[in-house]
Amino acid sequence: MEKLSPAVAIYRPTTASTSSDITSDPALVIVATWTDASSTHIAKYITKYRELYPKAQILLIRNTSKLFFNRPSIGPAVQPAVSVVRAAVAAVPVSAASRSSSHILLHIFSNGGSSSAGSLYEQYAATATEGQDKQFPRHVTIFDSAPSTNFRMRQAVAFFTVGLSPIQRIIAAPFLYLAAASYTLVLWLRLIADIQTRWSNHHNRPDLVLEARRTYIYSDTDAIVHPDDVEQHAQEAEKAGYAVRREKFIASAHVSHSRKDATRYWEVVTSTWDGNYPAN
């Protein structure tokens, strides 16, 4: 992949898409990763998308702890992705069918991916010149283990203990719960705004996001993003006029639903793109 910035990279297939390919398959797949996702894990999704849509460009937006906890830094980090999106849209043949169709598939992982995508929407609008659309172009969205709509202490502690040994978790837990309780108090006093709420709200703003349909892939046992948050966000999306599908996996871990049942997972992705699924 060609690196456009520390956070953004692009894969361009050697075989160019034709207009007939573009109408059926995505012209651009955007993968917005979870925070500090390893290259090995990311590669599995990139490889699968290359297999599913061999003529699609794949835009990778990586999220790190440094970006996630420093909101002003996310915008400049993802800004190089804006020109890729605009170029992909401009390359689609202009017709009545193309104007009403989706040519972008956005795959969001966890709150890290949610923050990257939300910032991309902002940058897309902020950098628009005269005559350019400010609204992020029509697309199809896959939410994997996302988003959180409320700050929850248990989920926050689980996030910060990822990768720690059982003993390290026991030692760290009291300090993390204290920090989480303090943060909860600060939020309750409205001294600061919850960053997770900000990003999750962005996905349900028709003035900011033009979307054809979306699917939430989540689990009843996710330790980091509570299923109630996902379901709440889905309900809010429906109220905002978005077409919503819910796919709840049983006993799968955070951003590990494809590992639990790869066949089902990728069928959900492809059928969401095709629009061949019943509303639920």
Segment (H or E) for 217: strand 209-219
Specify the pLDDT at position 117. Answer: 96
Which residues, other chains included, contact 65 with Cβ-Cβ below 8 Å and sequence gap of 6+?
A: 35, 36
Residue that is last in its domain, among 134, 164, 193: 193
Residue spans of the chain under pLDDT 70: 16-23, 93-100, 151-164, 175-177, 179-194, 277-280
Same domain, 258 and 237: yes
CATH of the domain at 106: 3.40.50.1820
Residue 280, in any domain of the structure: no
CA angle at residue 38 from 34 to 40, to 5 degrees? 125
Residue 262, in any domain of the structure: yes
- The count of domains in the chain is 2
Which residues, other chains included, contact 177 with Cβ-Cβ below 8 Å and sequence gap of 6+?
A: 153, 157
Phi, psi of 109 (to 5 degrees): -110, 120
Same domain, 189 and 73: no
- Separation between Cα atoms, residue 87 and residue 19, nearest integer Å: 15
- Separation between Cα atoms, residue 26 and residue 267, nearest integer Å: 16
Residue numbers of the domain that contains 245: 2-150+197-274
Specify the pLDDT at position 96. Answer: 39
- Separation between Cα atoms, residue 12 and residue 1, nearest integer Å: 8
Q: If DSSP states are collapsed to H, E and C, what string results for 95-148?
A: CHHHHHCCCEEEEEEHHHHHHHHHHHHHHHHHCCCCCCCCCEEEEEEEEECCCC
Same domain, 58 and 183: no
Residue 32, in any domain of the structure: yes
| pLDDT tens, position by position, 234-268 | 999 999 999 999 999 999 999 999 999 999 999 99
- Separation between Cα atoms, residue 114 and residue 134, nearest integer Å: 19
Specify the pLDDT at position 16. Answer: 53
Same domain, 132 and 42: yes
Same domain, 38 and 158: no
Residue that is last in its domain, among 160, 193, 226: 193
Same domain, 210 and 119: yes
Question: Which letter, b or e, does each residue of 173-208 get, where b requires 16 or more Cβ atoms within 10 Å of its Cβ?
Answer: eeebeeebeeeeeeeeeeeeebbbeebbebbbeeeb
| Torsion sign across C-alpha atoms 195, 197, 200, 201 | negative
Specify the pLDDT at position 156. Answer: 66
Same domain, 270 and 211: yes
